[in-house]
Amino acid sequence: MQRLFHEFPPIYSSSSKVLILGSFPSVKSREISFYYGHKMNRFWKVLAELFKEKLPQNNSERRQMVIDHHLALWDVIESCEIVGSADSTIRNVKVNNIEQLIAEIPVRLIVCNGNTAYRLFQKYIKDVDVKILKLPSTSPANASWHLSDLVEKYKIILSYI
């Protein structure tokens, strides 16, 4: 098991109202240096459905979708030991400075994309006075959730932006 580092920055603007946190980038995300890079991850499909837009086709379009809809994206983990993309193998976590990011932007809601992000956030991030929600993971590993069910759960974001 080797120690890996989160190698791309958060995406946000001065008008970001909802911060969406994952745990740590998957192998595919690390390959393209962008969030939710696995073609089977439903994250970008969920956002496209929520905002009634076409599915973004590249990192530039994905970044623009995040900014246009007052979102911010980051991951809880700055560095860790992990095997492949399996959250269950994550060890020796060092977290990102999420408190600092929240101090810089007007976040009204933090959404944790899946159980691992939520558990790690609760364990390591203490000084945050913002509502926190755990939503189902959009990962292909969470195949029991259909796209329509994920979209329904993620609709809560709309009332905060």
Look at residue 47 and tell me if it is in a domain.
Answer: yes
CATH code for position 80: 3.40.470.10
Average of pLDDT values for 39-68? 97
Look at residue 60 and tell me if it is in a domain.
Answer: yes
Look at residue 80 and tell me if it is in a domain.
Answer: yes
The pTM for the full model equals 0.96
Q: Crossing angle of helices 147-154/43-50, nearest 10°?
A: 60
pLDDT of residue 127: 83
Q: Which residue type, as a one-letter code, is found at position 158? A: L
Which domain, by its residues, includes 63? 2-156
Domain total for the chain? 1
Look at residue 100 and tell me if it is in a domain.
Answer: yes
CA distance 54 to 158: 17
pLDDT in tens, 107-144: 999 999 999 999 999 999 988 999 999 999 999 888 89
